[in-house]
Structure 1
Amino acid sequence: MQGITGQELSSKKAEYLKYIHMQGNVVKTTEIAVHFSVAPSTVTKALTDIAKAGYIEHTPYHGVRLTTLGTEYARFLVRRHRIVALVLSRHGLEPEEACREAKKIEQCFTKELTDRMCTSLGHPIMSVCGEIEHDHRCCGSRGGYRG
């Protein structure tokens, strides 16, 4: 994904994008609101902004689906989260704690730093919170995103 810094969206909007990606296909605004314990109007406003950025297609009263760009970016966001969580777990945090703490700080990690951490970890395939997909630009011949 060219030009990605890892900081294109606010942390809350990034969480919404990751959630949509993990759910697959079309996700309703109410599902997102319930999952994040926020008002549907709050979600609708955020989804409008995410759609304007080109990451989702939002059809009011029907739900949202990721665009190709949104899928690529969501995969990066999930990968970054899992790499940060793995680093934290290797420094003494229990798996659940590492995942929880990663959510708090992952927004600070650029794509470049995420790729460097991935390389220094030996391009791991598993984190404490799931499989790590590898970006071929980070991992060379280890392949592109799998999934």
Structure 2
Amino acid sequence: MAPTPYTVSRSTEITAPADAVFGLVADFHEWTAWSPWERNDPDVERTYSGPDSGQGASYEWRGNRKAGAGGMTITEADRPGRVAIDLRFDKPFSSESTVVFTIVETESSTTVDWTMAGHSTGFAKLFAKVVPMDKLIGKDFERGLRNLKEQAESGR
């Protein structure tokens, strides 16, 4: 059975400089302040490796059933406009995706687009027939972008 492609994308306007937004996205240590999944398991185990931020920075997590387990590695970090990440889930099911944050500063704000693309296989493919990936995590992206906006606009 062939994999099923998916793309989930959300966007927001942030009244903060693009460089401030980039700093929150390109440093996994900052994700605890805005990531929509950070509250899924307060006892999640985090491991950071590589540089503190930017290309080559990695983050792995292991938590309860809801948080699951997996890892992310920044593969591209072009300040202040783009951060690309390889995302791997090990639990609750195995999958790989590419995540891209596009950050564009205008005269009055910064536009942030958050996109995740990949292919559903195995159990995830069957589950996606019932609940499409956009419906499954789209609201998480929206919550994460609201949190990111709050952090960037507060000058964090």
TM-score (norm 1): 0.25
TM-score normalized with structure 2 length: 0.23
